[in-house]
A and B are shown apart, each in its own frame.
Chain A
Amino acid sequence: MSIQGNYLGMSLSIDDLDKENLTYFAHCARHGFHLQKCDDCGLLRYPPTTGCPWCSSPRATWTGVEGKGEVHSYEEVHHAIQPAFKAHTPYMVLLVDLDTQKGQPSEFEALRVVGNLTTQDGVLAPPELVRQVGIGTRVRLVFSDVSEGLSLPQWAIDTTAKQPDKPWRYPQE
């Protein structure tokens, strides 16, 4: 069954042929974060793919993964391209290294999960929150509910974690 929704005035859809994304987002709709774990090499992967990018095996099992990690890189969009985002600038796109599988298969890799910085409720973060976050900030996965059956994984500051004294931010503020 295909999934459709409207998020910030933007039409989102997943075709009924797209089994990998349907499964991924079905878990998200229940506020669970699941990734494919390769049955052969045992590595998790993100985003969903048909074959294992590390060993090419077509066999994988959806596995629950803890949504905690650290900001690996970020950007702060001040000039939105998409009409949906124009009312929400500046917004932040985060690339987050999950704690799970960090440093595998080599020291340079991690499951780097994309998301916006949001409040604890999954609402795009206001400017005062955006200014607090940088490389090294500890974050946890939350969800933005789009419609029945569709939620987007997002990142909120992990208030239970020990945060760096000063996360790294672009030098010119």
Chain B
Amino acid sequence: MPLPADTDVSTPKFLRDKYAIVGIGETTYTRGSDKTTRALGTWALRNAAEDAGIKTSDIDGMLSYSNNDSTSATFMAGDIGARLNFYMDCVGGGSSTEALIGIAIGVMEAGLCNCVALFRAMNGFSQVRIGGTGARSATPVGGDMLHSRAYGWQSAGQMFSPTFMRHMYEYGTRPEQVAMVKVVHSEHASNNPKAYYKKRYTVDDVLESRIICKPLHLLDCCVETDNATAIIITRADRAKDMRHTPALIRGIAGRCSKPRMDMHYQAGPISRVGGYYAKDILWPNAGVGPEDIDATGAYDAFTFTSMLQLEDYGFCKKGESGDYVSSGITRLGGRRPNNTSGGHLCEGYTHGMNMVIENVRQLRHDVDDSCPVGADGKRQHTYDYREGGCRQVKDIEVTANLGWANPMTGSAMVMRRG
């Protein structure tokens, strides 16, 4: 006799809350880091170990992802003085963060190692530009790429736009609704001293910015930055000895995809994204649903990517994300803020890492805003979200990260305050 959803989970229930994110680290979000990805990655890992309150040599597993634009665990391990029992450098961009955290849990559960660090180091502005311009855009076009690049169809924005345009056609999504994603995330960034862009933008600012690839204006696109980010994962029982309140991992969906990954537009509806399938893994695994989530980290490579994921994961009805992001729900002070750091649109572009890092800080109730630090070393949050003010979500307990690779593939993770 089958039980409800819980019987059909890919993560056994006993893994819920068994592993935690205990350390987070990043380098300054810049354009022009003047450092190699190796140097950036080393500093992010050192910062994450210090944040966790462990020695870098306590790290015995390492994961990374890149698109041939970064260093690898083989260099990082030596640079932090760690001897590894497991490592893996994966090909990938967005949606890798949550997926690789899932792999970290798997290798620890299998007894291969005890403490896994995940890093992403990139000079996304000054070396291999994330927007697709520069050396990568002028490479010869061969084989299967003749069906895309030969048509000037190559960058992320270009590859995703047919999905965005069809969504507007099918559901009547309006440009000024889409622009609200940037408006809200820029409000959050204005309360984040680390954010590359701290300026608050208006709907008109977005709509008056130049068209990159219709339906995308310049301000619908994320910021290209140089930075490295790192996350340390270990068993929750070990987390007790560490510096901060752990962010317990409830459940994960990793690189869950639509059919026809060779060209996903062959399967429809094309306004549907990978989250449509991932939600059926995520929520049963985590034992919660969208209504239980206090803050989301819906990947904002573009304004549209946050929206399409929020609706396919069930935070609103299909087609109604334009209303959802315009309603105030996703704002600090709203029912369920999204990307409280300013995300990829404003803080910096990390292929998903900074959105997980932000939710870890939120769950610690200790985001690094401008609120005064008290005698206990913790910020005294005011919950006054005016420009330059607080960005801590009050009494936050559960978060969801929705990672995006492209319209066909997504990863997700639910965390709760330990």
Contacts and interface: CB of A to CB of B under 8 A. Distances in A.
Contacts of A46: 263, 266
Interface residues of B, number: 47
B161 interface: yes
B152 A170 contact: no
Interface string A95-106: 100000000001
Interface string A8-31: 001111110010010001000000
B146 A79 contact: no
Nearest to A77: B213
Please classify how large the interface on chain A is, using the bins under 10, 10 to 19, 20 to 34, 35 or more: 35 or more
A84 B131 CA distance: 17
Interface string B152-166: 111100100111011
Contacts of A76: 211, 213-214
Contacts of B215: 75, 170
B325 to A, nearest CB: 17
Interface string B162-180: 1101101100001100000
Interface in A53-75: 53, 72-75
A138 interface: no
A152 B146 contact: yes
B146 A78 contact: no
A76 B215 CA distance: 8
Contacts of A95: 162, 265, 270
A11 B140 contact: yes
Contact of B138 (A45, A82, A111, A171): A82
Contact of A108 (B142, B143, B174, B268): B268
B149 interface: yes
A36 B144 CA distance: 15
B269 A171 contact: no
Nearest to B160: A75
A123 interface: no
B268 A53 contact: no
B213 A79 contact: yes
B132 interface: yes
B150 interface: yes
B265 to A, nearest CB: 5
B79 to A, nearest CB: 34
A152 B155 CA distance: 20
Nearest to B221: A79
Interface string B245-279: 00000000000000110110111111000000000
B174 to A, nearest CB: 6
Nearest to B136: A81
B307 to A, nearest CB: 16
Contacts of A13: 140-143
B174 A12 contact: no
Contacts of B263: 46-47, 112, 114
Given A72-B270, A76-B213, A81 B142 contact: no
Contacts of A77: 152, 158, 212-214
B211 A15 contact: no
B266 to A, nearest CB: 6
Nearest to B145: A12
B205 to A, nearest CB: 14
B210 interface: yes
A152 B147 CA distance: 9
A122 interface: no
B152 A80 contact: yes
Contact of B154 (A81, A106, A109): A81
Nearest to A14: B143
B140 A12 contact: yes
Contacts of B158: 75, 77, 81, 93
Interface of B: 131-133, 137-138, 140-144, 146-155, 158, 161-163, 165-166, 168-169, 174-175, 207, 210-215, 259-260, 262-263, 265-270
Given A12-B146, A88-B152, A109-B268, 17 more contacts: A12-B140, A13-B140, A13-B142, A15-B142, A21-B143, A73-B162, A75-B161, A77-B213, A78-B213, A81-B152, A106-B268, A108-B267, A108-B269, A109-B266, A112-B266, A135-B165, A152-B146
Q: Top 3 closest A-B pairs, CB basis?
A: A108-B268, A75-B161, A76-B214
